[in-house]
Structure 1
Amino acid sequence: MPQPPAMHRTLLALTTALLPFAAPAETVKLTLLGVGDVYNFTEEDGRGGFARLNAVARAERAANPNTLYLFDGDMLSPSLLSGFDKGQNTIDLTNLVPFDLAIPGNHEFDFGPANFLEKVKASKYPWAAINITNADGSPLQGVGGVMVKDIAGLKVALIPVAQDTSPSVAATGDLKFLPSVSTAIAAAKAARADGADLVIGVVQTDMDNDRKLMKSHAFDVILSGDDHSYATAYDGVTAYVETSIDGQFLSPVDLTIDIAQNDGKREISWTPAFRFIDTATVQPDPETQAMVDKLAAGLDETLNVEIGTSETALDSRRNIVRAAESAMGNLIADAMVAATGADVAIMNGGGIRGDRTYDAGSKLTRRDILTELPFGNVTVLTELPGSQLLGALENGVSQVEKGAGRFAQVSGVSFVYDASAEPGARVSEVMVGSSSLNPDALYKVAVNDYILGGGDGYSSLGGGRLITDTGAGNLVATDVMRYVEKSGTVKPMVEGRIKPLAP
């Protein structure tokens, strides 16, 4: 083939040199495995538990070295075993297959900040949260901030964010919690400005806040806990996973990332692929299962003891105890009255955790009661004017439409409420025993120490005359076990203590 003249060849070379240069794209596969709200060390109906969770994490890392295993909150509590070891079992089990990063959920503080920090020290993986500080604004020792990891030449920023409502639902002491959403978005934008190729949110927020984080488009991926549900989404900009409960259903996200150089400028593009893993199909990790079996054996001897029979059906499902009068709630509140001689008892529905039903005629065991009441809360008797008791009842139904844990299960009192009214003005027709509530009269009210201290928004319970304090009271679970044992047979039922006003 004839060559162009020398002058033309020179012009061709100069022209080619001036054209934008596009280098071949490099492709990287990054896998993100998120999990949260893992409470129970063992499986349930052949699904979930740490042995299956650890098996999945090991398999994902073996299949792709570019895997990030991320925890988005809540494992130290509540569980049957955490009532004894304050969550140490979850640290031991996760240390077998450590996370790349863990953020504290609100339940990490159920036994107070000191216990959480003790568990942080015992962890073989890092904990972080950008929106938690000490009272003076200083960082928590051992709890980090934004983590940037170099993975296959990619700069990946992990934005760890805790639930800003934690002080109202857990024993956080004097720790400060900055707003989850605005703090997260600001940190994500800062990480992007600092050159992060990918920005991953590892957060414990409810779905309303998850939507706000997605809408900001400050994140490439968000892995979120707290809602105890499973969900995935992708709006073309941000991929999202809500990470289920107890490791029952897992969704690794595979990002296929193209890294290109166009005219000296680095360009990143990616596409997500969501995988669904039902852990009922997963073979448990042998090393973890051995530890699980040892923990289970230690509990069985003392807990599998029958204490009585329930003639009636019981229901402790989360959507029931947080939204309506329940037979299980009545049983617990009645036991608190029997133990203290109170006029009224209030138990926050969020403190009832069995999430199951019992058929009429069921034999109740110590294990059943401790599973229902795993927090180690103490029964406390206080004396309050009727006006404060009314405030507590108002708080109990103030977020019923959200399924909040503050919903009140009660004994010795009945009332009507209107969920369509403004919070704080929903309760009417309050009866204490057979008499109408007197706002000026004093009533003896049995509660648990958590809500007495203002937990779940129960600030109106404060300031009363303590008749039994937290040092003198029994565990709520102990009071219930003694009540069932003494009765032999119990028959709690829904009887109209809490009546929603029909729309």
Structure 2
Amino acid sequence: MKKCMVVKKTMKLSWWSLVLITIFLLSGCASQVQVTSRQSLPLLFPDADFTLTILHTNDVHSSYGGITDKGMTCYSALCEGGRGGYVRLDQAVRAIRQDSPDALLLDAGDIFQGTLFWTLHKERMHMALMDKMGYQAIIPGNHEFDDGWATWLRLIEGLKTPVLAANVVFDPRPDSPALDKIKPYIVLERQGRKIGIVGLVTEDVPTTSTPGPGVEFSSAQATLEKAVAELTAQDVHIIIAVTHLGLEVDRQLVRAVDGVDIVVGAHSHSLLSNYNKKAEAPYPVVEQTPDGTTALVVTASTACIYLGHLDVGFDSEGVVREWRGRPILLDQATLESLHAPEPNAELVQLIEDFAVPVKEMMQTTIGTVNAADKEGLPLEEPNVMECRKVECMTGNIVADALRTVPFSEAQIAIINGGALRTSLPGGAITPGNVLGTLPFQNTPVITDMPGEILWQALEHGVAKYGEGEGGFLQVSGLRYAFNPALAPGSRVTRAEFQAPSGQWLPVDKQSTYRVVTVDFIANGGDGFDMFTSLLWAEGDKLANDSLRVYFEEYSPIAIQLEERIIIE
């Protein structure tokens, strides 16, 4: 159970410090206090033997410029009125380290993928930026393997920042100097205390990414147990697991493994907060290990919009006793409240240089979208994550494109929501929009699919509804309804396809349908194992090429939310 703190008077205080302490006491709980006065910091945990500050990011997804005031990707170092990005992140970290110079900065993976910065520059941009950010350690997420493990290794070859990946096993061992840089864990010292930091990535990388042969992802729990035993034998009694597993898996992990004090997580894009009504859980999440010791779990949403800030007080045995924390929104108002230094000019220039070809790509119009909601009002869709849980405009357009180019004979198109990385805007469409939406090197494929397998695929797509899984299916030539209150495997209540006459008919499990999708899920990605027994014919274009041609040949595209997917 979270402890509230009593602050003891230990020195003569200024009037302003007394005001801060009064506010602090009235708040009741340490985690809800936002103390910025340097004079108040020595009083943070007066009874603690050791205090540690942890700053953390996760699921940046190449959002190096953050987002605009409208929630779209910013392709500059700083967009006026925007939030997040590496420049603001760097300012906030430097501000906090003015008071807490020993603060750890950790990243929990999925730096790759998600914006045109990645699509055009791949690992090169991150290689140029990472060592300037002051991280103590980073780990891979599943998307670090989207272009195969060799791309991830090329990043590591150019980095000085420690890379941790305890459960990533190469067999056979590739001839790469990066292998010597990847460690299962590191041990750092702060104020004479040893701190062990372990890196773990999800075992599901082969089904959520395309790592290629020669790399395996072993059990996160077994790997963590082994690392904790080795660290404890080295007299390390404060252990942080930096993980790319998802919030619920993180919680299960600390309940199962003794010796872990803090988990810095990622993968589920969860926002934790004590004051934001949209938060998934409080910051931090408080759990207990099997022996009853307190363990804290934190994560910080996605797209580098927040910086997680956790202060922890330990006793002489390295046991967590007190804590406070919050996700820091990286906007101008917050930076001013932190008394942040000016932007790092070198960092600004680097990002601006990488942004030049991106901006050029964003200036050529190849088509237009006229998007409207059910009432006919203009529709904007800034959050592509909606495509993982409801019908979305971007999903409708992409699925329609796949059903049209290159397979005009397709009856049905399906696309996993996780394939869609940025939303398509209403209005003018550029090549940059296309590549931002479909950055993967996926190929359209077509097959004659039994209705029984199509139904299984729809069930699989909603089996983990509400968890933000990428397997949620967007569709064209098909509509379906499901009830998330029903048991997984029996949630789809009806499915209909559109006949050539335009009439909607029930999907017959005994019939066969011409279905197009992308090779990622046709090969079993996102858990679509039911597709691997089918014979697929491959198209002559990449999926993003199909989308580009669709805009060029069929614009203006009139699109609405048409109740293709109904939640009962």
TM more than 0.5: yes
| Counterpart among 235, 238, 247 of residue 195 in structure 1 | 235
Output one character per residue of 1:139-184: Cα deviation in whole Å (capped at 9) or x when no partner.
Answer: 9664211211233321111121112222221113343223334533
Matched, 1:43 2:75: no
Partners of 1:316 and 1:372 lie apart in 2 by 12
Matched, 1:343 2:411: yes
**Which residue of structure 2 aligns with residue 394 of structure 1?**
459
**Which residue of structure 2 aligns with residue 156 of structure 1?**
195
Letter in 1 for 2:329: D
Residue 492 of structure 1, CA deviation: 1.6
- 2:268, 2:468 within 8 Å by CA — same for their partners in 1? no
Q: For 1:367-378, list aligned pairs within 5 A.
A: 367-378=432-443
Quick check: 328-337 or 134-143, which moved more?
A: 134-143
- 1:47, 1:279 within 8 Å by CA — same for their partners in 2? yes
**Which residue of structure 2 aligns with residue 221 of structure 1?**
262
- 2:54, 2:311 within 8 Å by CA — same for their partners in 1? yes
Quick check: 456-465 or 207-216, which moved more?
A: 207-216
- 1:49, 1:247 within 8 Å by CA — same for their partners in 2? yes
Quick check: 320-329 or 436-445, which moved more?
A: 436-445
Q: For 1:4-403, list aligned pairs within 5 A.
A: 29-39=51-61, 40-45=63-68, 46-61=82-97, 63-135=99-171, 142-174=181-213, 175-185=215-225, 187-188=227-228, 190-215=230-255, 218-231=259-272, 232-233=283-284, 235=286, 237-256=294-313, 271-274=322-325, 277-281=328-332, 282=335, 283-312=342-371, 313=379, 315=381, 317-339=383-405, 340-341=407-408, 342-354=410-422, 358=425, 362-403=427-468
Letter in 2 for 1:31: T
Partners of 1:26 and 1:300 lie apart in 2 by 51
Partners of 2:180 and 2:212 lie apart in 1 by 15
Letter in 1 for 2:370: E
Bigger fraction of residues in strand: 1
Partners of 1:482 and 1:490 lie apart in 2 by 12
**Which residue of structure 2 aligns with residue 8 of structure 1?**
none
Output one character per residue of 1:226-251: Cα deviation in whole Å (capped at 9) or x when no partner.
Answer: 23233222648333321232322213
Quick check: 432-441 or 446-455, which moved more?
A: 432-441
Quick check: 44-53 or 26-35, which moved more?
A: 26-35
Letter in 2 for 1:93: L
**Which residue of structure 2 aligns with residue 496 of structure 1?**
563
Partners of 2:527 and 2:296 lie apart in 1 by 33
- 2:116, 2:358 within 8 Å by CA — same for their partners in 1? no
Q: CA 1:269/1:387 → structure 2, altered by over 3 Å: closer, same or farther?
A: closer
Q: CA 1:234/1:338 → structure 2, altered by over 3 Å: closer, same or farther?
A: closer
Where 2:515 maps in the other structure, the secondary structure is strand
**Which residue of structure 1 aligns with residue 75 of structure 2?**
none
Partners of 2:219 and 2:163 lie apart in 1 by 19
Partners of 2:382 and 2:536 lie apart in 1 by 30
Residue 387 of structure 1, CA deviation: 3.0
Q: CA 1:456/1:207 → structure 2, altered by over 3 Å: closer, same or farther?
A: same
Q: CA 1:401/1:277 → structure 2, altered by over 3 Å: closer, same or farther?
A: closer
Output one character per residue of 1:164-206: Cα deviation in whole Å (capped at 9) or x when no partner.
Answer: 2222211133432233345335533553354213111211221
Residue 78 of structure 1, CA deviation: 2.4
Letter in 1 for 2:400: D
Partners of 2:320 and 2:331 lie apart in 1 by 35
Partners of 1:367 and 1:41 lie apart in 2 by 16
- 2:136, 2:162 within 8 Å by CA — same for their partners in 1? yes
- 1:75, 1:87 within 8 Å by CA — same for their partners in 2? no
Where 1:315 maps in the other structure, the secondary structure is coil
Identical aligned pairs, as a percentage? 26
RMSD (Å), alpha carbons: 2.9
**Which residue of structure 1 aligns with residue 507 of structure 2?**
437
Quick check: 447-456 or 48-57, which moved more?
A: 48-57
Residue 276 of structure 1, CA deviation: 5.1
Output one character per residue of 1:372-410: Cα deviation in whole Å (capped at 9) or x when no partner.
Answer: 223332222334333333332222222223231101101
| Counterpart among 439, 449, 473 of residue 541 in structure 2 | 473
Partners of 1:237 and 1:317 lie apart in 2 by 35
Letter in 2 for 1:222: V
Q: CA 1:59/1:295 → structure 2, altered by over 3 Å: closer, same or farther?
A: same
Letter in 2 for 1:461: F
Letter in 2 for 1:30: L
Output one character per residue of 1:271-324: Cα deviation in whole Å (capped at 9) or x when no partner.
Answer: 434365332134432211101111112211122222333222253634531122
Partners of 2:96 and 2:253 lie apart in 1 by 27
Output one character per residue of 1:337-372: Cα deviation in whole Å (capped at 9) or x when no partner.
Answer: 11022221111011112258x56xx33333333222
Q: CA 1:337/1:234 → structure 2, altered by over 3 Å: closer, same or farther?
A: closer
Q: CA 1:488/1:272 → structure 2, altered by over 3 Å: closer, same or farther?
A: same
Letter in 2 for 1:35: T
Quick check: 85-94 or 451-460, which moved more?
A: 85-94
Output one character per residue of 1:441-497: Cα deviation in whole Å (capped at 9) or x when no partner.
Answer: 44332211211221111122223333225xx332x2222222122222111222232
Partners of 2:531 and 2:311 lie apart in 1 by 49
Letter in 1 for 2:228: A
- TM-score (structure 2 length as normaliser): 0.74
Where 1:482 maps in the other structure, the secondary structure is helix
Output one character per residue of 1:406-443: Cα deviation in whole Å (capped at 9) or x when no partner.
Answer: 01101122233333333333335433322443445443
Where 2:299 maps in the other structure, the secondary structure is strand
Residue 255 of structure 1, CA deviation: 4.0
**Which residue of structure 1 aligns with residue 529 of structure 2?**
459
Where 2:549 maps in the other structure, the secondary structure is helix
Aligned residues: 465
Where 2:259 maps in the other structure, the secondary structure is coil
**Alignment gaps of 5+ in structure 2:** 1-46, 69-81, 273-282, 287-292, 336-341, 372-378, 500-504
Where 2:354 maps in the other structure, the secondary structure is helix
Q: CA 1:479/1:390 → structure 2, altered by over 3 Å: closer, same or farther?
A: same
- 2:239, 2:261 within 8 Å by CA — same for their partners in 1? yes
Find the structure with the greater CA-based Rg: 1
Q: CA 1:275/1:437 → structure 2, altered by over 3 Å: closer, same or farther?
A: closer
Where 1:225 maps in the other structure, the secondary structure is coil
Q: CA 1:314/1:410 → structure 2, altered by over 3 Å: closer, same or farther?
A: farther
- 2:300, 2:327 within 8 Å by CA — same for their partners in 1? no
Partners of 1:487 and 1:148 lie apart in 2 by 58
- 2:221, 2:253 within 8 Å by CA — same for their partners in 1? yes
